[in-house]
Structure 1
Amino acid sequence: MISQKARYAFHALVALARTDSLMVGEIAAQERIPRKFLEQILLELKRHGIVQSRRGKFGGYGLLMPANRITFGQVLRILDGPIAPLPCLSKIAYRRCADCQTEENCEIRRVFAKVAESAREVLDRTTIEDAISNNGAAGTAVVKGLRGADAGVH
């Protein structure tokens, strides 16, 4: 499950992708996000080079990276951390599970490794632009491709 912070970030990024620049208050009102919380989210995204802020009469926030280069996986990792259902499956915050005898023989790890890889595949291929155009068809195509690849394995 993703955090509310990440959900708000995705809403804000989609709103910014549809226009050149928006004030924090405009995004907050349009997307129904608490303003103070949104300010924190946008500052974090700014620190990671996703958005930029401009001062002045025509100021506000805008995307620093093109919407077709901002992936859901990238944003999720910035705001929520590793994309892994088990700590032993994390690529950036690996930690051995407390009850684990051996990872190689862990049935639970094998199942969740497939889940994690499928999730990463979709999240790392789906961009903010994909979410706007064709209602996220790129992510849907990836999911359908994964389902097709696993169709013969039960």
Structure 2
Amino acid sequence: RGVNRFLNGIDPDIVLGMQSQPRLKWLLVRKHALTELVALLEAEREGDRGEVEGLLRKYASFPSVKGIGEVLPKKALRVDQDLKLWTSLREVSWRGGRLRLAGQAAIQRMSQPGKHSSVKVLAIQKVGSRRPLLIPVPNVH
């Protein structure tokens, strides 16, 4: 209760701007969800950082922490703002009538089991259009 009295003085906008892991812990403390908080801390200690689910909107999922989805609203589990795309374009050229783009791209704080474990697409959007054209991009090594 003393912790929650202290947390009452914190601006909610500050909390919503936090990274997902500290924000989830903060919300679990506020909800008095001690069982789920301890389970989340144990999962972190064992190296379980959770999973990301969803096609358009990305949400944190913690299969090892039972009940976290019932305690917290789905909005609290959203992690889109934590997923920052890092890109580096080294080469743009035409080869044999084909456009060649060479570079690297990664999403920070996301691990992939292998090079071919994710779908990559290039989104091209015409000026004034609302709909992008999605082109599958193969890995070239």
| TM class, shorter-length | under 0.3
TM-score (norm 2): 0.25
- Decide which structure has greater helix share: 1
Which has a greater percent of strand?
A: 2
Higher relative contact order (CA 8 A, sep 6+): 1
Q: TM-score, normalised by structure 1?
A: 0.24
